[in-house]
């Protein structure tokens, strides 16, 4: 005997007996003598792998039973074969149109019944196998994507910390600026100037890209990067090259893969342009206004705010309110005015982030 379960549904005991006699010994049989009872049996264990369903029954007829089976999550995929005395083509068309897989007319011919049942059970097994296989593959793809995301995040953080080891003043600067830019992007997502650019995916990629904004500092000599005092004009020229060095390194990484990597595109924008200014007086390219990439405009403000509240060899950390005033005064000169407005609206959250990732040398008042 096979393990497949066949549910036979007919209000006539004689028909149930005939169907049971033909199928018994080959399949596990469950029986119901009404449409209502069939629905109860169909959702209880052992659940049927196939249903042989009479059409003409008192109360709920076969068409109604089939419609209900298609509405129930656990039975909508169960194949149903109509077994009926109705021979009109329109009856068969109606049954197949409702989702029946086959239509057998009475009186029952055992060989035909067995062949049809066997065929549709094989098809059901194949369908179940493919569904299980697809579910497994989807889970495996999801697992590997999650693993790749973790590897990517760890790799990005490792590269960012490499730059951090060259510049001991940064500390949790990476975590703070990452949170700042995502906060600004989320605030601006619905703004008419930014809605086409700042999508949910953009915000996710922005968070991944932000830690690489100062990666170019690995190429700056220690004598300049770690100098405990004001840089000379010549030293400052060299210091400013950390933007182009970082962008070039990311660009070379992009060339090592066969297809574009979205977060690297943003990372390159940020690394190169986060010191540009809205009025065009920044570096390295003297970009101004909307020519500055959105990602870099967000990082420009985030980076300056964090620098203001952080201790440097040439200054103490500034109080939050003083930093706020400096940022506000840079509206339309240093910073995109709408980005500045977003900062002012989210100022208390900026403060909360600064305190959450605070450390020695960062204002915590």
What dotted CATH number matches 167-356? 1.10.3210.10
Cα–Cα dist 7/49, whole Å: 8
pTM above 0.75, yes or no: no
Asked whether the predicted pLDDT for residue 152 surpasses 70, the reply is no
Output the six-digit token pair for 24.
Answer: 């018994």
> How many other C-beta atoms can be found within 10 angstroms of the C-beta atom of residue 159?
18
Asked whether the predicted pLDDT for residue 158 surpasses 70, the reply is no
Pairing of strands 80-84, 50-53: parallel
| 95 band by pLDDT with thresholds 50, 70 and 90 | confident
Instruction: Output the pLDDT for position 302.
Output: 97
Q: Where in the chain is the domain with CATH 1.10.3210.10?
A: 167-356
Query: Which of the four CATH numbers 3.40.50.2300, 3.40.50.720, 3.40.718.10, 3.30.70.1230 does domain 5-136 have?
Result: 3.40.50.2300
| 328 band by pLDDT with thresholds 50, 70 and 90 | very high
Cα–Cα dist 260/347, whole Å: 35
Instruction: Output the pLDDT for position 190.
Output: 94
Asked whether the predicted pLDDT for residue 351 surpasses 90, the reply is yes
In percent, the amount of the chain with pLDDT more than 70 equals 91
Mean residue pLDDT of the chain comes to 87
Q: At a CB cut-off of 8 Å and minimum separation 6, what does 28 contact?
A: 1, 2, 3, 4, 5, 6, 46
* Angle between helix 173-188 and helix 110-166 axes, rounded to 10 deg: 120
Residues found in the chain:
365
Is residue 117 within 8 Å of 8, Cβ to Cβ? no
Q: Where in the chain is the domain with CATH 3.40.50.2300?
A: 5-136
Cα–Cα dist 41/18, whole Å: 20
| pLDDT tens-place string over residues 102-129 | 888 888 888 888 888 888 888 888 887 8
Cα–Cα dist 124/270, whole Å: 54
Q: At a CB cut-off of 8 Å and minimum separation 6, what does 92 contact?
A: 82, 86, 103
């Amino acid at each position: 005997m096979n393990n497949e379960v066949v549910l036979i549904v007919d209000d006539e005991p004689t028909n149930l007996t005939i169907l049971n006699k033909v199928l018994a010994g080959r399949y596990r049989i469950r029986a119901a003598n009404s449409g209502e009872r069939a629905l109860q049996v169909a959702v209880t264990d052992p659940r049927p792998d196939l249903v042989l369903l009479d059409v003409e029954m008192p109360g709920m007829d076969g068409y109604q039973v089939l419609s209900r089976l298609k509405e129930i999550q656990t039975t909508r995929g169960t194949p149903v074969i109509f077994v009926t005395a109705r021979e009109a083509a329109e009856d068969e068309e109606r049954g197949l149109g409702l989702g029946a897989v086959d239509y057998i007319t009475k009186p029952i011919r055992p060989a035909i019944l067995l062949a049809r049942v066997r065929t549709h059970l094989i098809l059901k097994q194949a369908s179940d196998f493919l569904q299980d296989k697809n579910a497994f593959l989807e889970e495996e793809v999801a697992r590997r994507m999650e693993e790749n995301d973790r590897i990517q995040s760890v790799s990005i953080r490792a590269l960012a910390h490499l730059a951090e080891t060259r510049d001991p003043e940064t500390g949790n600067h990476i975590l703070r600026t990452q949170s700042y830019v995502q906060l600004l992007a989320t605030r601006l997502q619905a703004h008419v100037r930014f809605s086409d650019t700042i999508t949910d995916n953009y915000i996710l990629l922005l968070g991944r890209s932000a830690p690489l904004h100062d990666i170019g500092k690995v190429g700056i000599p220690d004598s300049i990067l770690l100098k405990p005092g004001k840089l000379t004009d010549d030293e400052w020229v060299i210091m400013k090259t950390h933007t182009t060095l970082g962008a070039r390194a990311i660009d070379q990484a992009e060339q090592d893969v066969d297809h574009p990597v979205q977060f690297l595109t943003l990372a390159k924008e940020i690394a190169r342009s986060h010191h540009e200014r809205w009025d065009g007086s920044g570096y390295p390219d003297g970009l101004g206004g909307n020519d500055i990439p959105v990602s870099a405009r967000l990082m420009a403000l985030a980076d300056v705010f964090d620098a203001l509240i952080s201790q440097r060899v040439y200054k103490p950390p500034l109080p939050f309110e003083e930093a706020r005033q400096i940022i506000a005064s840079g509206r339309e000169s240093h910073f995109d005015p709408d980005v500045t407005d977003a900062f002012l609206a989210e100022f208390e959250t900026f403060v909360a982030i600064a305190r959450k990732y605070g450390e020695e040398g960062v204002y915590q008042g």
